Structure 1
Amino acid sequence: MTRLVQISDLHFGREDPDLLEPLRTAIGAAAPDLVVMAGDFVQRARASQFRPAADFMNSLGRPWLGVPGNHDIPLYNLLLRAWDPFRRYRRWICQELAPTVDLGEVRVVGLNTTDPWAHQRGRVARADVDRIGEAISAPRAGLTVIAAHHPFHHTEDIEKDLMVGASDALEHWARCGPHIIMSGHLHQWLVEPFVRRKGADMTLQLHCGTGLSTRRRGHPNDFAVLDCNADDVTITRMVAEDGEFQRAARTRYVVGDHGWQREGAQIER
């Protein structure tokens, strides 16, 4: 079994300081093999925000992988956004924008969905669609987990535009085999199989809310713990309540003949 923790949308510069230690403590108690940060480390891509964000990630004491979000590139500095949008991200967070970590039975594949000229919406490039499709279909025993900032699917209540290229990517990856997509951006929790192709739900989506930001949009701060095997995953939602992160729900999904299926009822608390 491989344990992952997914956090997202920390938004240093708009973080809740009272949640820093509770989040660090909860992640330490989970003792994950890898922490996955699904973008928006900071609020406005400033060095003064990236510095504490990097310090926080390194203080977790666990290996971690991150991908950039739209807030991690400049919004108002148009010159920097045009010529070197990831300069500060690369200096403080990671030189790689789409890192990959192989944990044996689980491979986490990073995907950079930020686009300087589709700042809010994001974009998935055709080359990345092919690259990740090859990772999913590679002849290896194990589970592929994709880490991206922008979601590949919106529920009907979401007013934002869906990411450019999202539908084509999902159609392609559905032909490649079962996989999990981690995302953030919307500041709300959702976990479910989606994209039915010939009766098969090959994509299990998980997007977390915000781990630390005060911009909660009516949803609690949260993060996810994933206990992964080659053909099943148990996902636990951890929610900030009364000054600590507590278990709110737990659900198990298994890969069957028709892709991902929920096994049993969701367990509350």
Structure 2
Amino acid sequence: MRLALLTDLHFGRALPDLVPPLLDSISAADPDLVVIAGDFVQRARASQYRDARDFVARLRHPWIAVPGNHDIPLFNPIARALWPRAAYRRWIAPETEPMVETETAIIVGVDTTHRWSHQRGLITNRQIDRVCRIIADAGDRTVIVMAHHPFHQRPEVEKKVMKGGARALKHWTNCGPHVILSGHLHTWTVEPFVAQKSRSMTLQVHCGTGLSTRLRGDPNEYAVIDIAGHQVTATRMTATAETLTFAQESRHVYREMEQGWQEQV
């Protein structure tokens, strides 16, 4: 199975000249499914959501998505308090935690947005237990968890790590091997998370922004993720405003072993 991972498109702060190259590159990659990990828009305005809706309508492959913190109104406190995901559901998708099952994989969306938090994510005990049951019952299928906020990040990152993220990682380690796809930080990271006893049951793929001008030292990018049996390959596809072409930057191959995910050289 092949996935294309997009995140942090940020329409309202997006580079319009990169939209056609990104769509063309995704089409050329020919994924079975496009997964979009939130932050479609910059400020949850209708005009920005129209552009985001136009983008997903131009995708030539099936897609699913979860919302990000920017997809919730910031300057409309009433809407934020009472209907935080109403605009997302109207313009993008009615379901904020989609799930797709195939013969080889299960892709699980987790909504980590929180109406009372401007930036920081949240995962609840109910969500943790739900995902754990899916991982435990997956059998030979690879479980892919998609969320906007990363569950773990390096100490030098200024943003606060998601509330409940560490608890989720520790709990899911005991449920079985799985992969987490996320965004939010506008940086690229592919690595296992070692929770306890050197068991790396979680393979994390954090992807940077697909279209935003808010670059943090990295280029615009998306990921092509291939799942073949117990092996996962994450290919980084990058572009700049000068090149306007997405090309392979790097490739990371991990295989599920007895002690968890091991990088293949």
Residues in 1 aligned to 2:185 and 2:75: alpha-carbon distance in whole angstroms: 21
Q: Which letter maps to 1:145?
A: I
CA contact (8 A) 2:123 2:163 kept: yes
Structure 2 counterpart of 1:239: 238
Residues in 2 aligned to 1:128 and 1:252: alpha-carbon distance in whole angstroms: 29
Spell out, residue by residue over 1:182-214, the C-alpha distance to the aligned partner (whole angstroms, 9 max, x if none).
Answer: 000000100100123222100000010000000
Spell out, residue by residue over 1:141-170, the C-alpha distance to the aligned partner (whole angstroms, 9 max, x if none).
Answer: 210000000000111220111111011000
CA contact (8 A) 1:236 1:249 kept: yes
CA contact (8 A) 1:142 1:229 kept: no
Q: Work out the percentage of aligned pairs sharing the same amino acid.
A: 52
Shift of 1:218: 1.6
Backbone CA RMSD of aligned residues: 0.9
Q: Which letter maps to 2:14?
A: E
Residues in 2 aligned to 1:231 and 1:155: alpha-carbon distance in whole angstroms: 27
Residues in 1 aligned to 2:127 and 2:173: alpha-carbon distance in whole angstroms: 15
TM superposition outliers: structure 1 runs of 4+ over 3 Å: none
Shift of 1:118: 1.7
Spell out, residue by residue over 1:47-82, the C-alpha distance to the aligned partner (whole angstroms, 9 max, x if none).
Answer: 111111011112111000100000000011000000
TM-score of the two chains, using structure 1 as the length reference: 0.96
Shift of 1:139: 4.5
- Listed as ranges, the gaps of 5+ residues in structure 2 are none
For the pair 1:253 / 2:261, whether they are aligned, the reply is: no
Residues in 2 aligned to 1:125 and 1:97: alpha-carbon distance in whole angstroms: 15
Query: 1:6-17, aligned counterparts within 5 Å?
Result: 6-17=5-16
Q: Which letter maps to 2:151?
A: F
CA contact (8 A) 1:106 1:229 kept: no
Q: Which protein is richer in strand relative to its size?
A: 1
Residues in 1 aligned to 2:206 and 2:138: alpha-carbon distance in whole angstroms: 27
CA contact (8 A) 2:200 2:260 kept: yes
- Listed as ranges, the gaps of 5+ residues in structure 1 are 265-269
TM-score of the two chains, using structure 2 as the length reference: 0.97
Query: 1:179-218, aligned counterparts within 5 Å?
Result: 179-218=178-217
The 1:40/1:191 distance shift into structure 2, 3 A limit, reads same
Q: Give the count of matched residue pairs.
A: 263
CA contact (8 A) 2:135 2:178 kept: yes
Residues in 2 aligned to 1:137 and 1:40: alpha-carbon distance in whole angstroms: 30
